[in-house]
Amino acid sequence: MVQHFRAEKSIAQLLAEPFDPKEVKFKPQSAKGNRALALAYVDSRAIQDRLDSVLGIENWMDEYEILPEGSVVCKLRLKFPDGWVTKSDVGSPSEQPDAGDRLKAAFSDSLKRTAVKFGIGRYLYRLPAVWADYDPAKRQFAQTPELPAWARPKAPVKESVKEVAPVASASPTLPGDGQELHRRLLNFEAKLVSQKLCAPGALLDHVKRAGEHAGYDYEIPAWPTPAIPLAVESVREFESRVRAGSSGSSIAA
């Protein structure tokens, strides 16, 4: 259970990662002359893309209920290693003149609100208040507000099985103990999951089975240093297998 919980945490971190600044939009609030408070948000398509990229299209689903006053309830279900998790929230209709547009806005709003409960885009609510130049006639900002560094994605780093731990001699990059090994395994597994190469928990389970076969304790954080080369070889074997079968259905393995 502990291992699955940590695997879920890595998925939660992937869901909560900052969006590409190009996907972040700003809407005005409390406009005063040619200045307005800029509120950051992402649209529903960005939410759907994030769910697809982290979980896969088959591992999330959404349901909607239209309330009498025009609001919409979204029930969003995500599949984690221990099963499905459902959260819900209500979206409000817009003030657009067309009834269809108002309802469409309520659907979109309900999905975004519910996604925040899974951590998606929650960081946007922590952005500092920013007043920016605003053109009330065009209803747009003169220049897109800048996001702080912490609200931007980290620069991509090339990841491979070597990041878990190279086997070569006494390399200083080898994990120092079982806990560090476990942390690196979680990070690398999260990368494979984001690439749709395996299901959450699959890499950890593979390494655990190899360790059990060799007589090591089931809990990876408790493994002694001599078990680390075994883990590295198991990761290499696993990565080679899933990449070779990536054109098939390895995500469901």
Every domain of the chain and the residues it spans: 20-151, 161-252
Q: How confident is the model at residue 180 (pLDDT cuts 50, 70, 90)?
A: confident
Two tokens at 192?
């494979």
Average pLDDT over residues 217-235: 80
Q: Flag whether pLDDT at 20 surpasses 70.
A: yes
Give the domain 20-151 fold.
Answer: Enolase-like; domain 1 (3.30.390)
- pLDDT tens across 66-97, in order? 999 889 999 999 998 889 999 999 999 888 88
- Its sign, for the CA torsion 104, 106, 112, 118, is negative
| Residue 250: band (very low, low, confident or very high) from pLDDT cuts 50, 70, 90 | very low
pLDDT for 213: 80
Whether 10 and 117 have beta carbons less than 8 Å apart is answered as no
Q: Please, which pLDDT band fits residue 11 given cuts at 50, 70 and 90?
A: confident
Is the model more confident about 247 or about 43? 43
pLDDT at 158: 40
Q: How many residues does the chain have?
A: 253
Mean pLDDT, the chain, whole residue set: 82
Closest by CA position to 71, among listed 98, 41, 110, 101? 110
In 10 A of CB 198, how many CB atoms? 24
pLDDT of residue 144: 87
